[in-house]
Structure 1
Amino acid sequence: MNNMETSSLFSLHSLTSLLIISLSLVEFALADEGFCSMPSVVDTEADSNKPLYWKVTNPTLAPPHLQDLPGFTRSVYKRDHALITPESHVFSPLPEWTNTLGAYLITPAMGSHFVMYFAKMQENSKSGPALKDVERFIFVVQGSVTLTNASGSVHTLMVDSYAYLPPNFQHALECDASATLVVFERRHALLENHISEQIVGSTDKQPLLETPGEVFELRKLLPQSLPYDFNIHIMDFQPGQFLNVKEVHYNQHGLLLLEGQGIYRLGDSWYPVQAGDVIWMAPFVPQWYAALGSTRSRYLLYKDVNMSPL
């Protein structure tokens, strides 16, 4: 075989290899479950017919090329922050709840002063009481529940509805079919002569608030008054939008990404995140978010307020 033939065969082999690699990359980029893949028009239309927040309860656990890798997880726990992703959730019966499984996502064991957990209520399920002096906030991400209290007041909470329940407030959540709730609990930092009350509402009924210097849309689900020692924010980002301020502050956060995907900076680390991911942020950890993909990002954010650092 002469040099020309050898060169031609080498070039043909190189071209074939390049085509195989290119096709592989295209196949990965178009994969339905690819983490940062651009969804097709068909996929987007199909998603638009799904219930609100459906990706929280039906998450993409991992990119296709990692789904079969034993031991793989995106979850991270560090001194001042944690990323808890769906493949790491461990569900077990919730104490004093009936027919309900819970997954604790944020607890004081990691350094927080609040608890955040998922409650998966099944057929004929009922909540248990909060601990003494503990206030509770629930947000419905799937299904519906009925909230009753000692005075006989009854509310039906659908997806995107929520309730704040003051400490030592007798109440019950009941579910006939199935529902998934995200629940926040903390010991109430009581201020003298300031009494909190039950609040029931829904995100779409809350006004958009001004965010000077920022582009995201903000709603606050609880009153901005002294009886309430925390608030829950709903923050919306369109693709390509990001936080202007690189925040460093004394407040703690618990976050659930309800829709979309993006990049979160926590300390010196950068994390790809998507709907269903949970983040804990300790005081003074540098934090920043940018929305990616082709659809809106929305997250629910716990923030302690009306409290002196002393």
Structure 2
Amino acid sequence: MTPLYLLLTFKICLDSHFIMYLAKLKENSRSGLPLHDVERFIFVLHGAVTVTSAHGESHILKVDSYAYFPPNFEHSIESDAPAIIVVFERRYAHLSNHVTEPLVNSTDKQPLLETPGEIFELRKLLPMSLAYDFNIHIMDFQPGEFLNVKEVHYNQHGLLLLEGESIYRLGDSWYPVQAGDVIWMAPFVPQWYAALGKTPTRYLLYKDVNRSPL
């Protein structure tokens, strides 16, 4: 089989606790495994892939579907036709008496969550239990909507704009962004977002959770 073809979407930041990349799968591609103790999350952007566990359980993932693989969980990702996925990997921060579980799901099956004081739509793709040391958010904004507060927090972010065009503020700098653009946000950097185009925007966001940043 053709090996999985990887395309880095942004340079690796030395202070980052995770990596994020696009994987362009050619026809009849098959992935390898991440390194020891590294967990993996994939989200389908184009086409379809099949994920299979070492026990032989298989699932077909289409656009907006995703899978989470715990550290040291044997699995494969295969494609019969060209496909594109975004991949997040990080070395798992173990917590006593807490264990993550593999999962397969799709964005449209996740409930909209309450966002007090805000008007955007929010879905969280991973369980919010202490076992998980990161989460992936899907955030939807209608044209003209924006974050009501300038955020500053300890969390790192990796963002991929899936639809539309907008503007992002990082520190004292302003960046126009459009579908396909990627942003890495360091801890404690002020950030703000506004959907400025004529169509809705959606982005996918990595976020550290449930672990001390120290």
The two structures have a TM-score, normalised by structure 1, of 0.68
Out of 191, 201, 204, the residue aligned to residue 287 of structure 1 is 191
Question: What is the CA distance between 1:294 and its match in structure 2?
Answer: 1.1
How far 1:98 sits from its partner (Å)?
3.6
Which of 176, 182, 186 lines up with 1:278 in the alignment? Answer: 182
1:236 paired with 2:148, answer no
1:113 and 1:308 map into 2 onto residues whose CA distance is 13
**Paired position in structure 1 for 2:161:** 257
Gaps of 5+ in 1: 1-96
Q: Tell me how far 1:103 sits from its aligned partner.
A: 1.7
How much has 1:292 moved relative to structure 2? 1.2
Equivalent position of 2:211 in the other structure: 307
CA-to-partner distance for each residue in 1:52-76, whole Å, 9 max, x for gaps?
xxxxxxxxxxxxxxxxxxxxxxxxx
**Partner residue, 2:79:** 175
Q: How does 1:1-310 map to 2 (within 5 A)?
A: 98-106=2-10, 108-310=12-214
Cα contact 1:125–1:174 (8 A) shared by 2: yes
Is the 1:260–1:298 contact (alpha carbons within 8 Å) kept by the matching residues of 2? yes
Which consecutive unaligned segments of at least 5 residues does structure 2 have?
none
Q: Check conservation: 1:106, 1:115, Cα contact below 8 A.
A: no
Query: TM-score, length-normalised on structure 2?
Result: 0.97
Asked if the contact 2:162–2:201 (Cα under 8 Å) also holds between the matched residues in 1, the reply is: yes
| Contact 1:134–1:188 (8 Å) recurs in 2 | yes
Q: When the two structures are aligned, how many residues end up with a matched partner?
A: 214
Q: CA RMSD in A?
A: 1.2
For the 8 Å contact 2:10–2:21, the answer to whether it is kept is yes
Amino acid at match of 1:160: D
Are the equivalent residues in 2 in contact too, given 1:106–1:114 (CA < 8 A)? no
Contact 1:133 1:187 in 2 (8 A): yes
Larger radius of gyration: 1
Distance 2:155 2:59 in 1: 32
Higher strand share: 2
Q: Which one has more relative contact order, counting CA pairs under 8 Å at least 6 apart?
A: 2
